[in-house]
Amino acid sequence: MDKMKTVGYEPLVNDIKEMIHKKHYHAMKALNAETILLYWEIGEEIFKQQEENGWGKSIVQILSKELQKEFPGAKGYSAANLWRMRNFYLSYRDSERLAPLVREISWSNNVVIMEKCKDDLQKEFYIQMAKRYGWTKRVLTNFIEAQTYEKYLLNQTNFELTVPENRKVQAMLAIKDEYTFDFAELTPEYSEHELEMQLVNNIRAFLTEMGGDFTFIGNQYHLMAGSRDIYIDLLLFHRRLRSLVAVELKIGEFEAEYAGKMQLYLTALDEQVKLPDENPSIGIIICKSKDKTYVEYALKRSNVPIGVATYQLRSSLPEDMKEMLPEPEEIAERLKIFEKG
């Protein structure tokens, strides 16, 4: 007698696959937390023994040799890494806020943050970002070197009021305070059209400068508002946000009327272009200069997500960027966004 053919098993297979993936993830997460705890305790013990016995840095050389004899093939017990464990403990032992967080990211990411970040608020920002978005060591390093923390604090948007909680952080990271278009070859008295065409003609460099998650849809993108023609300078799409992004270019100082015009663009995009599974459109107004207080007032009453940035034509960051950052209390308040959602 022929056996009955087994059909309809796909849901079972998918359920068990998902179950295995979840268990593997939780196991790896638990293993990582235990590894970080072990490194913390090793670092603590090295520091305490140094204090009690007056030993110098050479103790880690001796300890490294002995541990590698005891645990042949085990990684992580080099003299350099043991010294990092000591510094790791010293970096976070007095921080009730950061000490638990460091267990939630990999050791390699912890080392990058510890060695490249100076203060606790900056460290918290990158720990939270690495945790939330699963950044690799290379990605984390790139974000730190690009001064993402400073740009996140300096950028001007109304996203706190206009973007849902689950997309707010990603949206804020999508907007820089300043863009560098050092690839653009412009005449001394260039026009907005010239600037736009330089960005389009160097589209790869432009999208890289925008942040890497953008794709290009078109320039002078045509829409109708009733019987009126409207044209968006540059229309992009942000893959992580799943949002259309309208970019308006201005070669002068920001004016409040630009925000009103952008509101019209975003409304038209959402009604005429946005697909049902996409999120509401976002606007970026890029000007040559801006008055931060004036921008703040201009965006305060807008009910659509808009960011205002500036651009420069040479590759250098302001020397006084640190002086431009908010006070530590305000930074700590802004970092609380990571505790939500």
Shared-domain flag, residues 310 and 167: yes
**Residue among 106, 111, 105 at smallest CA distance from 82:** 111
Of 60-74, 245-259, 281-295, which gets the smallest average pLDDT?
Answer: 60-74
* Average pLDDT for the chain: 89
Domain CATH for 177: 3.40.1350.10
Give domain status of residue 111, yes or no. Answer: no
Question: What is residue 4's predicted lDDT score, i.e. its pLDDT?
Answer: 59
| DSSP secondary structure code for residue 151 in this structure | H
| pLDDT confidence tier of residue 1, bands split at 50, 70 and 90 | very low
**Distance (Å, rounded) from C-alpha 219 to C-alpha 233?**
5
Higher pLDDT, 149 or 212: 149
Give domain status of residue 211, yes or no. Answer: yes
Question: What is residue 315's predicted lDDT score, i.e. its pLDDT?
Answer: 55
Shared-domain flag, residues 166 and 85: no
Question: What is residue 83's predicted lDDT score, i.e. its pLDDT?
Answer: 96
Give domain status of residue 86, yes or no. Answer: yes
Q: What mean pLDDT do residues 183-199 have?
A: 94
**Residue among 307, 330, 305 at smallest CA distance from 243:** 305
Shared-domain flag, residues 192 and 84: no
Q: Is 215 exposed, middle or buried (0-12, 13-18, 19+ CB in 10 A)?
A: exposed
**Distance (Å, rounded) from C-alpha 172 to C-alpha 23?**
32
| pLDDT confidence tier of residue 28, bands split at 50, 70 and 90 | confident
- What is the per-residue pLDDT across 103-139, written as a single tens digit (0 to 9) for each? 999 999 999 999 999 889 999 999 988 988 888 999 8
Q: Is 175 exposed, middle or buried (0-12, 13-18, 19+ CB in 10 A)?
A: buried
- Report in angstroms the alpha-carbon separations of 91 from 85, 102, 104, 121, 143: 10, 11, 16, 13, 21
- pTM greater than 0.95: no
CA 276 to chain centre: 26
The first and second tokens of residue 23, run together, are: 């268990």
Shared-domain flag, residues 53 and 169: no
> By residue range, what is the domain housing residue 241?
161-316
Give domain status of residue 227, yes or no. Answer: yes
**Distance (Å, rounded) from C-alpha 89 to C-alpha 37?**
10
Q: Which helix (H) or strand (E) holds 13?
A: helix 10-53
Give domain status of residue 153, yes or no. Answer: no
Give domain status of residue 244, yes or no. Answer: yes
**Distance (Å, rounded) from C-alpha 246 to C-alpha 233?**
8
Tally of structural domains, the chain: 2
Higher pLDDT, 179 or 331: 179
**Residue among 170, 49, 29, 38 at smallest CA distance from 106:** 29
Give domain status of residue 208, yes or no. Answer: yes
- Report in angstroms the alpha-carbon separations of 282 from 174, 215, 297: 10, 14, 19
- Using the 3D structure, point to which of 93, 108, 134 is the last residue of a domain: 93
Q: Is residue 150 helix, strand or coil?
A: helix
Give domain status of residue 149, yes or no. Answer: no
- What is the per-residue pLDDT across 211-244, written as a single tens digit (0 to 9) for each? 878 999 999 999 999 999 999 999 999 998 999 9
- What is the per-residue pLDDT across 275-333, written as a single tens digit (0 to 9) for each? 999 999 999 999 999 999 999 999 988 999 999 999 998 755 555 556 667 777 777 77
Shared-domain flag, residues 214 and 79: no
Shared-domain flag, residues 46 and 191: no
**Distance (Å, rounded) from C-alpha 92 to C-alpha 288?**
41
**Distance (Å, rounded) from C-alpha 107 to C-alpha 241?**
29
